[in-house]
Structure formats: structure tokens, C-alpha cells
């Protein structure tokens, strides 16, 4: 059976501790349903853009957002289909497996969903490779390792799955497990194409199943896409003789730390200590009202002039917006006359 090799360095331990603290803030914040939906949608869109961009997809984040909203986008059919596939698989992350165990059928299903209608040979979809490939940087053409032979793939995948479903893997921090699986799957490279995307979906699925990101708030792929060369270097730098994953895991875990910190900062802007102590959690706010609440969380208060500048609206329209929040019991007025400002209740 597959047995990963790595060490818990000071960097890994510190990052895991910080991630746990950030996640605690996120999961215990009283986000209203609309905010949760928005955070989830935003993370899925960013992930779809970044994960496909890493492998050469040319769609911009704006175009990916338009596709997610059902709008027309001028681009090649392959680029659009890759993104639509990724959006679909992340949107159905909770439905990807039937049992608590991940098996070979699940891997093939994920690959099919990721690569549907994008491969030159449709027979390569949800099927292990039948010809040899090399793993390299698509931007430089550099080959950084040669994966196992075709005949070894089925056994290596089964060995990895046995480990994923083992007690040993379940006893690890889910982030360490996800990072380990991400690398080993890329190393095996079981398919002709779509290995990186399938590996990243698999890592996301493990974090979901292990209860780390059940709300799908975290975009793990933005970090990799922000510096594609660093991503490929991190994969390349694993010694193929020892397969020690320590350096790779430091890189992978740092990416999750950056993602959780970004979500934490967003959540803090959307909620406050006062909101935690109320039952405001089910209050449905419009996008404009959400922005006003964010502004107050950052600045402590908001004035009519602030709202006018924020949305480029008249004083009367700004007054109407703030009155809606007053009636909902979210904010209250302080001061008098031109010195009036509004704070969270």
C-alpha cells in the first residue's frame, strides 16, 4: 500500500495552527444565508478560473463569472467547456461519491466530469492512459519528471485509494491528507489529460468529506495560479528517489493558509461582535445593504455622504437605503442634523 513520507516541520505546524484559528472564526460567524451563498459561489468561480488557467485555459475571471451566470462568452468551445465542466464538478462536490469511501469508479467519474467534450479522443475520457506521457511545465515545455508506465497505473491508483480510505490517512490532519493525495495523483498521472484538474478536485473533495470545507468557502487554486512557475517548481522539487513530500506539503499548506485568511478577512467585514449577539442571522439583505454593513464593520460608522459616494446616488436615495436598515433593526442613528451617522445595533 502507498505510504507517504514527510516530516512535520515548524513551518507546517505553525501554518496548521493558524489555519485552524482562521477556520474557527469563519465557521462560527453568523453569516446570513445570502452571504453564505455568495461566498460559496465566489469561491467556486475563482477555483474554476484558476484551476483551468494553470493548465493553459485562456478565459479571464470576468469571462468565467459570465459563464457561471449563464451569459454568452466569446472564446473557443474547448476553453468554455473546460470551465463549465469545472464549475459543474465543484457545484456537485457533495454528490460525487455515494459511499464514505472513495473508489476507482469515483476517480473515473471525476475525470469524466472534468474532461467531458474537451479531449481530442473521446475514448480517453474516464479511462486510464494507454500510451506514455511525460509531465512538464506547459509554459516552458520543460519536462520535470516521467510518470510510471501505463501498465503500473491501475495498481498505483488502487494503492493510493487504499491509503485514502485507511485509518492511517483519517488520523492525519485533513489538509495534510489532501496535499499528499494531490501530489501522488499528479505523480501517477493516470490519464492522458486532465490529471492536474482531477487531482485538485480530489484534494477539494477530501477536505469536504473530512469536514474542513463543508461550506465550500475556500478557493485553494488561486494561490497556485498566482504563480504558476512556483506551483510547477513545488511539484518538480520532490525527489523521485525518496518521494519525501515535506517541501511540497509546506507549499500546499501555505496555499490553504492564504485562502483561509482571505475568507476570514471577508467574513470579519460581513459580521461583527454585535451581530453575533443578535438573531440577525436570518435577515435577508440586498447587495447594496450588505456593502453598507461591510463599510460600517471596517469604519465603525456610516454617513449619508458615505453612502452617496459609495453608490453615486442622491442624498434622498442614500437616506432611503439607510432607513431600510434602520427598520430591519440592523443599524441605529447617532448624533443630530448634519452630524447624524449610523452604527450597527
pLDDT confidence of residue 284: 63
- Give residues with Cβ within 8 angstroms of 266, minimum separation 6: 39
Nine-digit cell string for 83: 470551465
The Cβ-side half-sphere exposure at 284, using a 13 Å CA radius, reads 1
Enumerate domains of the chain plus CATH numbers. Answer: 10-270 (1.10.3290.10), 278-344 (1.10.10.10)
Which pLDDT tens digit goes with each residue over 10-50? 999 999 999 999 999 888 877 767 778 888 999 999 999 99
Residue 206 has pLDDT above 50, yes or no: yes
Flag whether the pTM goes above 0.85. no
pLDDT confidence of residue 202: 97
CA pseudo-torsion sign 233, 235, 238, 239: negative
Rounded Cα distance between 322 and 192, Å, is: 56
pLDDT confidence of residue 6: 97
Amino acid at each position: 500500500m502507498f505510504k507517504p513520507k514527510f516530516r512535520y516541520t515548524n513551518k507546517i505546524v505553525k501554518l496548521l495552527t493558524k489555519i485552524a484559528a482562521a477556520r474557527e472564526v469563519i465557521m462560527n460567524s453568523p453569516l446570513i444565508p445570502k452571504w453564505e451563498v455568495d461566498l460559496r459561489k465566489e469561491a467556486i468561480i475563482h477555483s474554476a478560473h484558476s484551476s483551468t488557467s494553470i493548465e493553459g485555459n485562456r478565459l479571464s475571471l470576468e469571462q468565467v463569472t459570465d459563464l457561471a451566470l449563464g451569459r454568452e462568452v466569446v472564446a473557443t468551445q474547448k476553453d468554455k467547456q473546460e470551465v463549465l465542466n469545472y464549475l459543474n464538478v465543484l457545484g456537485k462536490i457533495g454528490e460525487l461519491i455515494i459511499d464514505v469511501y472513495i473508489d476507482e469508479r469515483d476517480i473515473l467519474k471525476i475525470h469524466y466530469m472534468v474532461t467531458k467534450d474537451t479531449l481530442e479522443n473521446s475514448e480517453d475520457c474516464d479511462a486510464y492512459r494507454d500510451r506514455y506521457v511525460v509531465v512538464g511545465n506547459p509554459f516552458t515545455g520543460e519536462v520535470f519528471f516521467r510518470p510510471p508506465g501505463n501498465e503500473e497505473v491501475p495498481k498505483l491508483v488502487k494503492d493510493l485509494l487504499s491509503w485514502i480510505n485507511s485509518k492511517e490517512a483519517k488520523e492525519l490532519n485533513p489538509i495534510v491528507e489532501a496535499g499528499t493525495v494531490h501530489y501522488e495523483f499528479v505523480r501517477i498521472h493516470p490519464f492522458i489529460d486532465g490529471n492536474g484538474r482531477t487531482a485538485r478536485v480530489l484534494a477539494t473533495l477530501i477536505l469536504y468529506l473530512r469536514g474542513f470545507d463543508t461550506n465550500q468557502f475556500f478557493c485553494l487554486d488561486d494561490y497556485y495560479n498566482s504563480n504558476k512557475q512556483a506551483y510547477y517548481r513545488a511539484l518538480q522539487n520532490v525527489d523521485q528517489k525518496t518521494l519525501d513530500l515535506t517541501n511540497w506539503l509546506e507549499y500546499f499548506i501555505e496555499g490553504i493558509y492564504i485562502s483561509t485568511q482571505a475568507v476570514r478577512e471577508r467574513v470579519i467585514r460581513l459580521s461583527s461582535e454585535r451581530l453575533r449577539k443578535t438573531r440577525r442571522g436570518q435577515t435577508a439583505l440586498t447587495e447594496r445593504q450588505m456593502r453598507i454593513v461591510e463599510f460600517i464593520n471596517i469604519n465603525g460608522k456610516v454617513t449619508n455622504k458615505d453612502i452617496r459616494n459609495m453608490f453615486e446616488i442622491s442624498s434622498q436615495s442614500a437616506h432611503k437605503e439607510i432607513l431600510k436598515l434602520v427598520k430591519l433593526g440592523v443599524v441605529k442613528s447617532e448624533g443630530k442634523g448634519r452630524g447624524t451617522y449610523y452604527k450597527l445595533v
